[in-house]
Amino acid sequence: MNALLEAVELSYWQASVLRVLGVLAAVILPAGGFVYVFLFKMMSFMQSRLGPMEAGPYGSAQLLAEVGKFLQKEDIVPARADRRLFFLAPYIVLASTFLLLVVMPFGPDAYFANLDTGIFLALGLSSVSVIGVLIAGWASANKYSLIGGLRAAGQLIAYELPLVLAVVGVVIQAGTLNLQGIVAAQHQGEIFGFGGIGNPFLITQLVGFVIFLIATQAELTQPPFDMPVAESEIVTGYITEYSGLRFLLFFIGEFATAGAFAAIAATLFLGGWAVPFVDLDDDIMNVAGPLVLFAKMMLVGFLIFWVRFTFPRFREDQLQAFAWKFLIPISLVNIMATMVFKVAF
């Protein structure tokens, strides 16, 4: 986006407004798309019902109705809550999601920031949301919230490791931390000499992809890893006391983060915004790239939400054991194997 903005020579404030609108679109559109397509429609069809059908054609305006509903709701703050922290928490969670998308490339020139440490920064920023969740759990002055917040902290830290280790394999294979570089590496790569479709790391890093998806599921606190918000045990965990706009922020945060992680997975493993047989520098990709990326995000999102609506949840200790005793050793083996192949070929 920077390069695009320079090309049309806008003043600073105009460029800033465009950037803000761009980030908003990058966060809100996938989040809204995920909620409508997966939460409203796919879940309903899986559960042999229709989902929202009345608001707009095929229920497509239901999202607006939901947002309107939440905006009207009374904003209740518990009497014993730590008011300032209570207000702050949802913004921290949402901010980490916004920052995640800053480093995402959407096309050859369509990006907000092209950093050489892109994926490193993205994974670092994704863990900032833990702080928001912990604050929400503590500031609510509610035992369910506190248990939920602590569970979330333990879980997010445990699953941060397999997430990072799964990415390391990709980074070794691409030879760069830059997300544009990773896209280019996949587009121009070869699988054992066959370069017809490039080398989407999905194929050579399949183990990494699966581990990444599992860890993403845990980072998003979705079933089977939804212990922090387990509604049949601790009501809704750290969100229990939130209502109205602040609940909406958490809700948007949840699905926008799902979108952001799907975008990262699509970029790392499915070739990002690039498509085979189309040149990387082709200007058309500045327009088509975001759409291609969005289509790939929906594919990843489908996997994430399919699991979400199917499985029961782990217990807290089983969940920790799964991360430390199963995922981390496997991802370490994956890194070793990747290094051996990298050196050998």
Partner 1 sequence: MTLTEAQQLGYINAQAADGRINVELETDDGMVLNMGPQHPATHGTLRLVARLDGEQVTSADVMCGYMHRGYEKLCEVRSYPQVTTLVNRIDWLGSFANEVPFILAAEQLMEVEAPPRAMWIRTILFELSRIANVSLFIGDLALQLGAQTPAFYAFRDREFVLNQIESVTGGRFHPNFDRIGGLKDDLPKGWIAETKAAMVRLRAFCDEMEGLVYGNEIFQTRTRGVGIIPAKVAQSYGLSGANLRGSGVDWDLRRDANVGLAYDQLDWKVWTHPDGDSYSRCWVRLQEVREATKIVDQLCDGLPGGGIMAKVPRIIKVPEGEAYVATENPLGAMGYYVVSKGDTGPFRVKIRSASFNNISVASWLLRGVYVPDIITILASLYFILGDIDR
Residues that bind partner 1 (CB under 8 A): 43, 46-49, 80, 141, 143, 146-147, 223-224, 226-227, 230-235, 309-318
For residues 65 and 224, is the Cβ–Cβ distance under 8 A? no
Q: Which is nearer to partner 1, 91 or 309 (CB)?
A: 309
Count of all residues that appear for the chain in the document: 345
Helix (H) or strand (E) holding 217: helix 206-219
For residues 111 and 2, is the Cβ–Cβ distance under 8 A? yes
Residue pointed to by tokens 């320079």: 6
State the nearest-atom distance from the C-beta of 52 to partner 1, in Å.
16
Alpha carbons 96 and 91: distance in angstroms, whole number: 9
CA-wise closest residue to 170 among 322, 26, 341: 341
State the nearest-atom distance from the C-beta of 297 to partner 1, in Å.
23
State the nearest-atom distance from the C-beta of 144 to partner 1, in Å.
8
- Alpha helices for 127-282 (secondary structure H): 128-139, 143-174, 179-188, 201-204, 206-219, 231-234, 244-269
Q: Which is nearer to partner 1, 19 or 313 (CB)?
A: 313
Tokens representing 110 are: 């369509």
Q: Alpha carbon of 18 to those of 2, 9, 22: distances in Å?
A: 10, 12, 6
Q: Which is nearer to partner 1, 199 or 217 (CB)?
A: 217
Tokens representing 130 are: 């833990």
State the nearest-atom distance from the C-beta of 298 to partner 1, in Å.
20
Q: Which is nearer to partner 1, 162 or 198 (CB)?
A: 162
Q: Which is nearer to partner 1, 273 or 314 (CB)?
A: 314
Alpha carbons 114 and 54: distance in angstroms, whole number: 43
Q: Which is nearer to partner 1, 74 or 317 (CB)?
A: 317
State the nearest-atom distance from the C-beta of 315 to partner 1, in Å.
5
Other C-beta atoms within 10 Å of 320: how many?
17
State the nearest-atom distance from the C-beta of 302 to partner 1, in Å.
15
CA-wise closest residue to 182 among 118, 260, 261, 113: 118
Alpha carbons 259 and 252: distance in angstroms, whole number: 10
State the nearest-atom distance from the C-beta of 155 to partner 1, in Å.
12
Q: Which is nearer to partner 1, 54 or 317 (CB)?
A: 317
